[in-house]
Amino acid sequence: MIRRKRLFWQLFPSYLGIIVVALIAVSFFFLASMKSFYHQQTLQDLESLAGVMRLRVAPLINEARFGRVDAYCKEAAQSAGSRVTVIDRHGRVLGDSTRDPATMENHGNRPEVVAALGGKTGSSLRFSSTLSTHMMYVAVPMEKEDGVIGVVRTALPMTALEEEARIVRLRIGLWGGITALVAALITLMVSRKISRPIAEMQRSARLFAEGDFRHTLYVPDSHEIGGLAESMNQMAQQLDERIKTTTRQRNEMEAVLSSMVEGVMAVDEHFTIISMNTAARGIFGVIPGEGVGFGVSEAIRNMSLLRFVEKASGTLGTLEEDMKLWDDRETLLHIRSTPLRGVGEVRLGTLLVFDDVTRMRQLETMRRDFAANASHEMRTPLTCIKGAVETILLEKEVIPPRHDRFYTIIEKNVDRMAQLIEDLLELSRIEQQHPGGFPLRVSPVDAVLASSLSLLSPRAEELELILEVTGDKGALAQFDPRLLERAVVNLLDNAMKYSPPRSTVTVSVETRDDRVEIAVSDQGCGIPAEHIPRLFERFYRVDSARSRALGGTGLGLAIVKHVMHLLQGEVRVESVPGAGSVFTLSLKA
């Protein structure tokens, strides 16, 4: 792990290092420039002195007054503060300000003298063996018409220059140190001014992360850091509001889920329980705090539930199923599943809703048994009444005319009650079956349609109606012939009852994707939209008086709905008042 440094220790040494490097570079440049300037200035001074000496010494050499030359060198050196040497064209020293010329060696090989004897001004910086010190020499030629007659050389010890340079270095060092100290203090203040607000922001961000949004950041006068502090304060305020809103919504959701009678459970794609309300824990006997985070197979030992969850996870739509639980008693649960989606419609898992329908199913069973038993028991007395009335009506000549009408009414209502009982018994038999309880074979639908039309053809002729079949008559679908025939006959019978004479009742067959649709359409009076949602309820009639006059029992469409449920299909209705109705049976292909 990389060791992190504080921002202050990253800023301060960097700034201070830049300033120190800049001071050192400037100091070296200044010293070099100063030394070069002093050298150049000394060269010019020595050259000027040599030029003056040349004007004075040249006549003396021409007159061969060499003693006077030496004396003049010594006098000039005292006033100028420099060493002066006069050398003839053979390198012999004629005069010197510091030594006796007679004792001095030949100077013809000195670099500056060689340059001067060649007619040019020469200069050199070297150690003087005569004076045992570093010297700067400048030599100028003395010329006549026939050439160079001698050289005037001036020299100055470098100790003075070095001393001056040392003093300058000391001054630069002193003022550089003072400047570096002041710069260090300014850098320290600037670094602390930058790092302190950021450190405060770090502390505040840590408080925000811990959930303390009451803290407010100080806003410094810096535009960038001040803007950042204001943004963090606004962020903290918005986070506080959003967290409070989220917490309130979560508490409300938890309160709603806890208050629900239905059990609710959410599982992820790996069948791990994400959430589980109190009702769901009670249904499956899960201890609070032990269900969430566990797999469904770990928290709930029920293979039927696990199979349903696996099936629901691979389904994009809604899935419903009944499931039995055995504990102290048998419990029947109705389970509904829907995909659990997050942001961007990404599937997160599956939401399951459990409804205890044990009591409701018992009541439905009791209702079906009562309807079946009552209908069965009523068949015998009705049969006896019908037989007695028919016997009486066979002897019409002995029946008083005023009683004949009453016997006819009795016969008609006995037939109607017998039909009602038959429909109730048929509906009970259908309700007692379960989808998947019998095999559905793939067969062509034309045979069922042909038998249905043949059953109703006599009635259609009596009512002056035309029955026709259109579309894909040979379409293949999954169905039970007896049940599908009952549904088609009921729809055709309904259409014929409400169709005007000399109209057409059409049965059309169409294949769409993996479904086969059988549509029964009429040209009757149609159904108002407000009645359509309740159209498939038992004994529901749009026009009660007309339905009874036409002999309807109110159970035909309820039988159709239950038949399609057994065939794992669906029934739809579309109707426009005054323009007829279309009932559509949809089957799996």
Q: Could you tell me the maximum CA-CA distance found in the chain, to the nearest angstrom?
A: 200
Query: What mean pLDDT is predicted for residues 116-134?
Result: 78
Of 34-38, 218-222, 262-266, which gets the smallest average pLDDT?
Answer: 218-222
Q: Which superfamily does CATH assign the domain made up of 260-356 to? A: PAS domain (3.30.450.20)
Query: What mean pLDDT is predicted for residues 559-582?
Result: 82
Query: What mean pLDDT is predicted for residues 138-155?
Result: 85
Q: Which superfamily does CATH assign the domain made up of 10-164 to? A: PAS domain (3.30.450.20)
Q: Do 154 and 49 form a contact (C-beta atoms < 8 A)? A: yes
Q: What is the pLDDT of residues 1-24, one digit of tens each?
A: 456 556 566 666 777 777 778 778
Q: Report pLDDT for 430.
A: 64
Q: Do 559 and 483 form a contact (C-beta atoms < 8 A)? A: no
Domains 260-356 and 441-588 share a fold: no
Question: For residue 529, what are the contacts with CB-CB under 8 A and spacing of at least 6?
Answer: 575
Distance, CA of 381 to CA of 386 (rounded, Å): 8
Q: Is 423's pLDDT higher than 70?
A: no
Could you tell me the pLDDT band of residue 462, with boundaries at 50, 70 and 90? confident
Distance, CA of 384 to CA of 381 (rounded, Å): 5
Q: What is the pLDDT of residues 216-241, one digit of tens each?
A: 776 766 666 777 777 777 887 787 78
Query: What mean pLDDT is predicted for residues 475-492?
Result: 82
Average pLDDT, the chain: 77
Domain ranges of the chain: 10-164, 260-356, 361-431, 441-588
Q: Do 523 and 499 form a contact (C-beta atoms < 8 A)? A: yes
Total-model pTM: 0.43
Q: Is 119's pLDDT higher than 80?
A: yes
Q: Do 166 and 71 form a contact (C-beta atoms < 8 A)? A: no
Q: What is the pLDDT of residues 303-313, one digit of tens each?
A: 888 888 888 88
For domain 441-588, give the CATH number. 3.30.565.10
Q: Report pLDDT for 446.
A: 83
Specify the 3-state DSSP secondary structure of 262.
coil
Supply the DSSP symbol for 96: E
Question: For residue 285, what are the contacts with CB-CB under 8 A and spacing of at least 6?
Answer: 327
Could you tell me the pLDDT band of residue 545, with boundaries at 50, 70 and 90? very low
Could you tell me the pLDDT band of residue 156, with boundaries at 50, 70 and 90? confident
Amino acid identity, position 491: L
In this predicted model, which residue has the larger pLDDT, 584 or 388?
584
In this predicted model, which residue has the larger pLDDT, 140 or 413?
140
Q: Report pLDDT for 286.
A: 80
Q: What is the pLDDT of residues 493-536, one digit of tens each?
A: 888 887 888 888 888 888 887 888 888 888 888 888 777 777 77
Q: Report pLDDT for 546.
A: 47
Q: Is 549's pLDDT higher than 50?
A: no
Query: What mean pLDDT is predicted for residues 534-559?
Result: 62
Q: Is 64's pLDDT higher than 80?
A: no
Total length of the chain = 589
Task: Say if strands 504-512 and 466-471 run parallel, antiparallel, or are unpaired.
Answer: parallel
Q: Is 242's pLDDT higher than 50?
A: yes
Q: What percent of the chain has pLDDT over 90?
A: 0
Query: What mean pLDDT is predicted for residues 243-270?
Result: 81
Q: Report pLDDT for 404.
A: 65
